[in-house]
Amino acid sequence: MKRLVKNSLLFLLNLFIVGCSGTSAAGVGNTGMLNGVWNKFLWMGQLGFLNMSSGNSVVAFTRILVWILVFTIIFAVVTMMGGKKGALSFLNRGQGGVVAAILATITAIFLSPSVLLGVGTGWATMVALLLIGGPVVGIGFLLFKIPGNDEEETRFHVFLKLVLCVLLFWILAAMRTHVNILGGKLL
């Protein structure tokens, strides 16, 4: 684990150094090299090396993330099921990495952009529902549970409920505005 963290930090340091090395002698920042690296990264995700460029950077970046995810899962399964008496004991760690890389590449190349965008939209909707719905449900729960079972409702409890209602109203109004802006209809 320490080796992985050390290697990751060294990799990020190298990326930082490569990004900083694109500055000119006059002191004016030149991000051409860093943009070139990023564009090459997206070009791979757009399947430009196969002359199948889709032109959409979101799809390209999602394709790269899917490749990383599939590779990680398959490599973990191959490594876990390897060992001396495992079901995949005929594969060593290097061969498992090659198999995982090939399957991840096939998966990333043959997933259609509509599937990638659909899955991404589904996950984004679920996370948004949890991040927005969680506080709304929690505040609603507090409105019914304050005061406790044996306590009488005091002015402080009423004030606290009023503050919670205002907070709940603010969250819902902010979300309505944001959704309308995203939908192109500002009311």
Instruction: Enumerate residues 6+ apart whose C-beta is below 8 A from 153.
Output: 147
* Percent above pLDDT 70 for the chain: 66
Please give the structure tokens belonging to residue 2. Answer: 């320490």
Instruction: Check pLDDT > 50 for residue 25.
Output: no
User: What are phi and psi for residue 51, nearest 5 degrees?
Assistant: 55, 40
The token pair at 170 is 């603010």
Helices (H), 46-187: 57-81, 93-110, 113-145, 155-183
How many residues comprise the chain? 187
Domain segments of the chain: what residues?
Answer: 32-111, 118-183
- Cα angle value 65/2/66 (rounded, 5°): 10
Question: What pTM was computed for the model?
Answer: 0.52
- Round to whole Å and give the CA distance between 68 and 52: 20
Worst-scoring range by mean pLDDT, 15-29, 103-117, 128-142? 15-29
What angle is formed at CA 108 by the lines to CA 103 and CA 111, rounded to 5 degrees? 115
Q: Is 163 exposed, middle or buried (0-12, 13-18, 19+ CB in 10 A)?
A: exposed
Q: Report the share of the chain in percent with pLDDT over 90.
A: 5
Taking only the tens place, the pLDDT of each residue in 150-186 is 778 888 888 888 888 888 888 878 877 777 776 665 4
- Give, as one character, the DSSP assignment of residue 112: -
Radius of gyration for the chain, computed over Cα atoms and rounded to the nearest angstrom: 25
For residue 21, pLDDT over 70 is answered with no
Confidence of residue 103 (pLDDT cuts 50, 70, 90): very high
